Amino acid sequence: MALHRGPAALRYRALALTFALLAGGCVPSEQADNGKICGLYASGASDVEVIGQGSVLAILGTRNGPSGVHEGFLLKLTGDCDLMVRVETNVGITGPLPLHPGETATVKGVFDDDADGGVIHWTHHDPSGRHIAGYVEAGGKIYQ
């Protein structure tokens, strides 16, 4: 029996591969812009979509919030600016984040200024569709 390799079959295989990659959390990383985050912090800006990358400094554990259980960690941004930001994610949406100090992580979410270096939150999809779909990427896996 010969395999059909026409355009429709190739499109089907490409689509199946795309869905398999998305389901496995293997979505290509977006470009981090740590300079943008440092500029936002320096100017006191808030409520801005960002993508940052750095090294996990500490795991802050979980806490109950008005929209569910959140897990936090401290991220030391890589690059020229010396900024540490707190990252928060809703583990009811993403599941637990098995991060370790020293591990590299990329985060997409909303930056808000605060006295401690700022926070990046909404690092998951928003079931209500009001915010951008954020994520935490670490260890080759994407949590969203």
Phi and psi of 18, rounded to 5°?
Answer: -60, -45
Using a pLDDT cut of 70, give the percent of the chain over it: 80
What gap in Å lies between CA 118 and CA 39, rounded to an integer?
11
pLDDT given for residue 99 in this prediction: 96
Q: Please measure the distance between the N-terminal and C-terminal CA atoms of the chain and give it in whole angstroms.
A: 43
What gap in Å lies between CA 39 and CA 131, rounded to an integer?
22
At residue 21, does pLDDT exceed 70?
A: no
> Comparing 56 with 4, which gets the higher pLDDT?
56
**pLDDT per position as a tens digit, 59-102:** 999 988 778 899 999 999 998 888 999 999 999 999 999 999 99
Architecture of domain 29-143: Beta Barrel (2.40)
Average pLDDT, the chain: 82
Beta-bridge partner residues of 106: 53, 137
> Comparing 128 with 35, which gets the higher pLDDT?
35
The domain spans of the chain are 29-143
Q: What pTM does this model have?
A: 0.77
